[in-house]
């Protein structure tokens, strides 16, 4: 019984009045707040007002996208609850638009050449993107749409058009190569690149894979042999790229970050001031440097793995040397590549 101490007929009358009052109040509220010209609270009557904060919360969780760059952008008056973790994770950072203290980030207002930033996963692609954004103020794009990167200032995730300075890709098929006018190819030592990708795959961008992943079953073994082949294919296929190609060694980026960055910028046709370069140097690591320490107390590569990867590595090194020789023979501008053609000729003629 809803009203145990009240006579049944009075209880029924009371509940009826309560019901009528509730829905009358709700109806008045909805009618009062309906406004076709965009006023009121945005709840609306007879239609859905897409400016209401609840709409954004629900659609962000469902993953819907509104037109425009970077996903859902709340219009004025939406008053989104910034304490809502779900919304904070999904909303882009266009309103901040800053990469620390160096430059305000933006999409290019003029069409840029389509430039691939190609690499095998785990070769520092995201790091190079960070440096390029810091140096130029222009967002870098990607054929992927990594939400964790978008949350940290890579608003160009998912963009592959002329509004971004480069486009991240790990693909190497002919169709991919044909899309771009220029390409920057990052090459990292396969032993380090494979482990880095293994850590990302099982530990995230800044974590490491659990020790059990190396020792349980054939997880690590299958990963190594599959990725070693993929590493080789990535480099060799991109060396077939018909447009201007800049080869960047990850190890050189580590030892001379600013020098290599200037070389990339020159290849892209962008100048950088001394002051900007100093700023980039102060924040050269970015937010995606792996912070978890590698705790393995053993070498995960078996003798057979080392032998296999070494053969792949030698194959790639030979392919790079032949590519370099071809550049010299065709009298192409090799200033971007730091190639001394005289030394190359002497090496291969001896």
Q: What is the CATH number of the domain that holds 288?
A: 3.40.50.300
Query: String of b and e for 172-197 (b: at least 16 CB within 10 Å)?
Result: beeebbeebebbbbbbbebbebbbbb
Q: What is the pLDDT of residues 211-240, one digit of tens each?
A: 889 988 899 999 999 999 999 999 999 999
Is pLDDT larger for residue 301 or for residue 41? 301
Q: Is residue 210 part of a domain?
A: yes
Q: How many domains does the chain have?
A: 1
Q: What span, in angstroms and rounded, lies between the C-alpha atoms of 221 and 301?
A: 9
Q: What is the pLDDT of residues 233-289, one digit of tens each?
A: 999 999 999 999 999 999 999 999 999 999 999 999 999 999 999 999 988 877 656
Q: Is residue 311 part of a domain?
A: no
294 φ/ψ sector (left φ>0, alpha ψ -120 to 50, else beta): beta
Q: List residues bridging with 183 in a β-sheet.
A: 116, 245
Q: Is residue 296 part of a domain?
A: yes
DSSP 245-286: EEEEEHHHHHHSHHHHHHHHHHHHT----HHHHHHHHHT-S-
Q: Is residue 76 part of a domain?
A: no
Q: Is residue 148 part of a domain?
A: yes
Q: Is residue 188 part of a domain?
A: yes
Q: Which domain holds residue 186?
A: 115-306
Q: Is residue 24 part of a domain?
A: no
Q: Is residue 88 part of a domain?
A: no
Q: What span, in angstroms and rounded, lies between the C-alpha atoms of 45 and 34?
A: 5
């Amino acid at each position: 019984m809803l009203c145990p101490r009240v006579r049944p007929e009075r209880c029924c009358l009371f509940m009826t009045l309560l019901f009528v009052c509730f829905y009358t109040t709700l109806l008045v509220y909805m009618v009062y707040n309906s406004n076709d010209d965009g006023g009121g609270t945005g709840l609306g009557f007879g239609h859905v007002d897409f400016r209401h904060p609840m709409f954004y919360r629900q659609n962000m969780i469902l993953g819907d996208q509104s037109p425009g760059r970077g996903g859902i952008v709340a219009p004025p008056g939406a008053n989104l609850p910034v304490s809502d973790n779900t919304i904070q994770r999904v909303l882009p950072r266009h309103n901040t638009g800053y990469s620390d203290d160096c430059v305000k980030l933006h999409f290019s207002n003029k069409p840029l050449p389509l430039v691939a930033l190609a690499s095998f996963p785990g070769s520092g692609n995201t790091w190079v993107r960070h440096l390029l954004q810091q140096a130029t103020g222009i967002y870098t794009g990607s054929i992927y749409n990594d939400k964790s990167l978008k949350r940290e200032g890579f608003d160009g995730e998912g963009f592959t058009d002329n509004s971004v300075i480069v486009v991240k890709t790990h693909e190497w098929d002919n169709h991919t190569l044909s899309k771009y006018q220029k390409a920057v190819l990052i090459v990292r030592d396969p032993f380090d690149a494979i482990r880095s990708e293994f850590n990302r795959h099982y530990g995230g961008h800044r974590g490491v894979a659990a020790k059990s992943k190396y020792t349980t079953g054939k997880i690590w073994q299958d990963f190594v042999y599959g990725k070693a082949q993929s590493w080789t294919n990535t480099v060799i296929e991109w060396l077939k790229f018909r447009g201007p190609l800049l080869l960047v060694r990850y190890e050189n980026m580590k030892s001379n970050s600013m020098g290599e960055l200037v070389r990339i910028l020159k290849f892209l046709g962008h100048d950088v001031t001394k002051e900007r370069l100093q700023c980039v140097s102060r924040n050269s690591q970015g937010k995606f440097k792996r912070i978890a320490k590698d705790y393995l107390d053993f070498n995960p590569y078996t003798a057979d793995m080392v032998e296999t990867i070494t053969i792949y590595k030698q194959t790639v090194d030979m392919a790079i040397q032949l590519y370099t020789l071809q550049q010299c023979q065709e009298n192409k501008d090799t200033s971007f590549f730091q190639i001394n053609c005289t030394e190359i000729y002497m090496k291969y003629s001896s």
